[in-house]
Every structure is written in C-alpha cells, then in structure tokens.
Structure 1
Amino acid sequence: MSDVSRTAPEKGPLIYRQSIFTRLTHWIWAIALFFLLLSGLQIFNAHPSLYIGQQSGFEFDNAVLEIYAVNTDAGPRGRTRVFGQEFDTSGVLGMSGDAARPQFRGFPAAVTIPSFQDLATGRVVHFFFGWVFVAALFVWFLASFINGHIRRDIIPKGEDIKGLPRDALDHARLRFKHGRSYNPLQKLAYFGVFFILFPLIILTGLTMSPGMDAAWPWLLDLFGGRQTARTIHFGVMVLLVAFFIVHIIMVLAAGPLNELRSMITGWYRASPGTPTSAGDKP
C-alpha cells in the first residue's frame, strides 16, 4: 500500500487589522452597554409603558407599549400590549417568578441592575456607564478619523454597495472572506451603528433630562417630546441588542479564535491569496 502525502491547508497572512484604539473602545463599549441595558430595564420598570407625544397619563390614549399584570379567573397573569394588541406574557413580562411568590414588574429581576426594584441605584449605574460610553465613543471617533479607519473601513463606498447582494448571499451560505478591510455587510452594519444608532441613543437619552432640555430646548422639538424620545431610546436599545446577537453569531460562524485574536492583539488571519504588505506576518 503506497503512502499518500498530506499537505497542511494553506494559511493566509497575519495582518494587523485593529488598532489599539479600536480594540480598547470595543471592550469598553461591550461592558458599558451591558450595564446600560440592565440598568435601563430597571429604570423602565418604574413605569413600564411607552408613549408617542409630549404627554402621558390616564387621560391620554397614546401608549404604544404597556407591560402590566391583571387578575383573571385563573389568577394573576402578565400582559403586554403592543400597538393595541394584547399578549399573555406571564412568567416573563408583567409577572415573573414562581407561582408561590410572583413578582409583578415589567422585566424580571434576572435582567435588571439591581435585581430588586431600586430606581435610584438604577439611575446612578445608568448615568455612570452612559458617560463612559460617550467618552469611549469620542476617543474612537477622534482616533479613527486621524488614522483613516472611518474612511477606509466604516463608510461604504460605491463598490461596497454594488457588492452587497453577493456578500449577503455569501453570508447566507456561511462563506466568509477574511480580507484586509471589512466586507460590504460589515461596513453597512457598522456605519448604521456608529452614525445612526449610537448618536440616536445618546441624543434621546439627553432629551429625557430636564436639565438638558433647559440648556438645549431644540432636543424636544427634534424628537417630538420627551415621551417620544423615551420610546425611540427604547427602540434603539432593541436594535442594538439585535445587532449584538447577530454579531456574536457571525463571530462564531466566521471563526471565533481568529476574530478574538483580532480584537485582543490586533492581528487577523486573512484568507489565502490576500495581498501582503511589509508589516504582515506569515
């Protein structure tokens, strides 16, 4: 029986893809957004309803989301009403915990900081990490503008728009190309996050502050009132959570070790055939 020669699969070059500023702010955002989400749900639980317009209350009918509990013949149940459509969400929203000791609150204790109802502590945590988030975003914008990261990797160009259908099809087939720069879908997603979602969640957060409304009254006009700003703030949070879930799925599908190495050391293993430069490693 003859020997069969085996060759190791070809490896692409190691390229330096992520700067120290991108890596540092990436992990700061991950931590800050975690605490912002859970403390934000704590704040939301103080009044688990969202409205459109300047005002809210019993005499108004402008709620787009309500989470509450009701008494029924079968006992208390959790309810969620979205645009007038009511759903039974017992055990998750409106009423959670075990049957012997149910908790009547919007979101369950497992997803709020602190776990018990404490609006004051939730606001302190939320505001602290809110400013951490803003500071990291300022550093990222300044560094990325200077080193060309925004121009090179974030803002979609004409060829990116043209290549979007093919790139979407490749992603659907789990065929990933590890290049020197981001692919069209990544550029479009990151552009939407950095230039639409992040500014929106910051500005709507500021609009809910009476002090900021006094200093910048145009914020209320921009978002159509404090209640509308609160609703947009919540909606953007949902979109960011969705982005995070898709982001994690793509990282796992594309090769988690390579992606993590890129965000820890800056070095990224590109696909074979990727053009090399003097600073690349074999």
Structure 2
Amino acid sequence: MTDTRLVYRHRWPVRVMHWINVVCLCVLLGSGLQIFNAHPALYWGERSHFDTPLLALEGGQDPAGRPVGTTRIGSHSFDTTGVLGASRVDGEWTARGFPAWATIPGPGWLAMGRRWHFFFGWIFVANGIAYVGWSLASRHFARDLVPTRRDWRGIGRSIVDHLRFRHPEGDDALRYNVLQRLAYLFAIVVLGGGIVLMGLAMSPRMDAVLHWLVDLVGGRQSARTIHFVIAMAFVAFVLVHVFEVLVSGPLNQLRGMITGWYRVRADRKEVPHD
C-alpha cells in the first residue's frame, strides 16, 4: 500500500474567495437568465432589430395547437420544445426563453431578479478585486498561475495526459499544470474582467464614463450579446472544472478547498502550495 501524507495546499484567503465565487456565479447565472427571459433575443449594434436577431428563443403553437419552443440562430431554427422557447411552469405550458428551474428567484419575478443580479454582481466584483490584490501581494499569481518555461515546454504532454485522464501524483499534484494555469488566467482576466465590463457597458448611467467602451463593441446590444456569450463560457469552464474534480478524486479535492489539506503520495518530499 502506498504511503500518503496530508499537505497544506490552499491558504484560507483562496478557499474563502473560491466559495464566495461559487455562490455568486450560481446566483448571477440564475438571475441573469431571469432577466434574459424578459426579452430572450440577442442583437448586434446599438438597437434591437427584431426581425433579424443573432439568437432568439421563441414559443408558439404548431397547426394542431400544441406548444412549440424554437431556438433561432441567425437564419437557422431548431425545435427545443420543453427546454428553450417553451416549457412547463406549475404544470402549464408557457412561452419562455429558459425553463423556470434555471432561473432565480422565480419563474416571472423580473424586478427581484434584477436586484439579485446587481447585488451579487457587486459582491463578485469586490471578491475579484480582493483576489487579485491578495494574489499580487502574496505572489500567488507569479508563483502559481503564470506559466513558466518548463510549463510551456511540457504543454504537449499535458494535453495528452488530460485526454487520457491521467493526473499527476506526488509533488507534481501540488502545482498547477500549464493547462490549469492558462485556464485559470483566462477565467480571471478574460471572462471575469470581460463580463463585468460588458455588464457596466449595458447601463445607461455609465455613458459618461464608459461611452468609449460602448462605442468600441458597437453599442449596448452588442455589449449584451458579449455579456451573454461570456456567461455561457463561464458555464462551460465550470462544467469542465467540476468534471476534472470528479475524475481526479472529488473527496481529496473538496477537502483541499474546504480545509486546505490535500493528500498526496509520500514518495518524495512535498513543498506546500498556496
């Protein structure tokens, strides 16, 4: 039997801010879909051109009077009845973009959905600023997230290992590989920063400050579309992240992110990892 030992891997600021992000992202997604359902269509430019949306989730009826949900992407349409465009609410079919189970705080409470979205949005922003500040002060960014030359040289092997679901052990398990580093940096800088900026760009009150950003992306409707796309990219990132946790030892990974302590093979001397 292989000997193992517990290593203190994640400091408490990382753990606290990680779980704050988990709560914020869940509420922001649900409340964001609630807001989106008020007008489930996306456009490019300054104004809504209703006849030619980039994306539209539509509900209606077929010739026999049965409910039909349709997802329209450009000139292409897909039947998504029961999921997108038309779904059941309290046993009754209704036209709605996303189903009720995916929205917060309820199937049709737009005003409260906006309050939840803005409230948790500012918590998300404050938490992100705190994380970046702490990471720079503690050198967490430079030490643990920015790829080194060694990382870049091993990127091919890292890709193959991920495709084969082969995960590092011992000392190697105590540091992020190059794909993890790139994924986390992308999520923090591009997705996190982008979704906040696009959210601000949608606000008419920010015209005096961010009018240049609104003009740069082509208008408020463009900002809304980019905001939605980034939100879906966040969903994809989280799904991949959760999948990797499940296949690499969920109990050990959760213990590390809850208590800070992570179990590794004791075949070599371990170096604590933040």
TM-score normalized by the length of structure 2: 0.93
Between 37-46 and 146-155, report the one with greater CA deviation: 146-155
Instruction: Indicate the SS of the match to 2:86.
Output: coil
In the alignment, the residues of structure 2 paired with residue 116 and residue 199 of structure 1 have an alpha-carbon distance, to the nearest angstrom, of 29
How far residue 100 of structure 1 moved from its aligned partner, in angstroms, is 6.8
What residue number does 2:10 align with? Answer: 18
For the pair 1:73 / 2:67, whether they are aligned, the reply is: no
In the aligned structure 2, how far is the partner of 1:273 from the partner of 1:32? 39
Q: Structure 1: 5+ residue runs without aligned partners?
A: 1-7
Counterpart for residue 240 of structure 1: 234
Give identity over the alignment, percent.
46
Offset of 1:196 from its aligned partner?
A: 0.8
2:22 aligned partner: 30
Tell me the amino acid that sits aligned with residue 70 of structure 2. R
* Residue number in structure 2 paired with 1:185: 179
Residue by residue over 1:148-207, the C-alpha shift from the partner in whole angstroms, topping out at 9 and shown as x without a partner, is 111111112222122112112112222111422111111111011011110000000000
Q: Secondary structure at the match of 1:103?
A: strand
Distance 1:207 1:274, change over 3 A: farther
In 2, the alpha carbon distance for the partners of 1:77 and 1:162 equals: 52
Q: Give how far 1:274 is off.
A: 4.3
Cα gap change, 1:102 to 1:189, in 2 (>3 Å)? same
Q: Residues 91 and 142 from structure 1, CA distance in 2 versus in 1: closer, same or farther, beyond 3 angstroms?
A: same
- How many angstroms apart in 2 are the aligned matches of 1:100 and 1:193? 38
Offset at 1:117? 1.0
Calculate the TM-score normalised by the size of structure 1: 0.90
Q: 1:161 to 1:96 in 2, by over 3 A?
A: same
Do residues 135 (structure 1) and 126 (structure 2) align?
Answer: yes
**How many angstroms does 1:256 deviate by?**
0.9
Q: Which one-letter code corresponds to 1:84 in the other structure?
A: S
Choose 1 or 2 for highest CA Rg: 1
How far did 1:249 drift? 0.8
1:28-67 matches, within 5 Å, as 28-58=20-50, 61=52, 63-67=53-57
1:270 aligns with 2:260: no
With over 3 angstroms needed to count, the CA separation of the structure-2 counterparts of 1:40 and 1:274, relative to structure 1, is farther
Determine if the alignment matches structure 1 residue 254 to structure 2 residue 248: yes
Cα offsets for 1:65-114 (capped at 9, x unmatched) = 00111332132311110122100111111110179721111111111112
Q: Assess if the C-alpha contact under 8 Å between 1:53 and 1:228 holds in 2.
A: yes
Q: Which runs of 5+ in 2 are unaligned?
A: none
What number of residue pairs does the alignment pair up? 269
1:236 counterpart letter in structure 2: I
> In the alignment, residue 259 of structure 1 is paired with which amino acid?
Q
Contact 1:213 1:219 in 2 (8 A): no
| Counterpart-to-counterpart distance in 1, 2:83 and 2:199 | 26
Q: Secondary structure at the match of 1:55?
A: coil
Moved more, 99-108 or 134-143: 99-108
2:139 is aligned with what amino acid?
A: G
What amino acid sits opposite 2:160 in the alignment? Answer: L
Following superposition, the deviation at residue 208 of structure 1 comes to 0.6
Deviates more, 1:200-209 or 1:151-160: 151-160
105-114 vs 23-32, greater mean Cα deviation: 105-114
**Measured at CA, do residues 212 and 274 of structure 1 come closer, stay the same or move farther in structure 2, by a change above 3 Å?**
farther
Structure 1 position 272, deviation (Å):
4.2
Q: CA deviation at 1:235?
A: 0.5
Tell me how far apart the structure 2 counterparts of residues 100 and 133 of structure 1 sit (CA, whole Å). 35
Equivalent residue in structure 1 for 2:147, among 145, 153, 156: 156
Q: Which residue is 2:94 aligned to?
A: 103
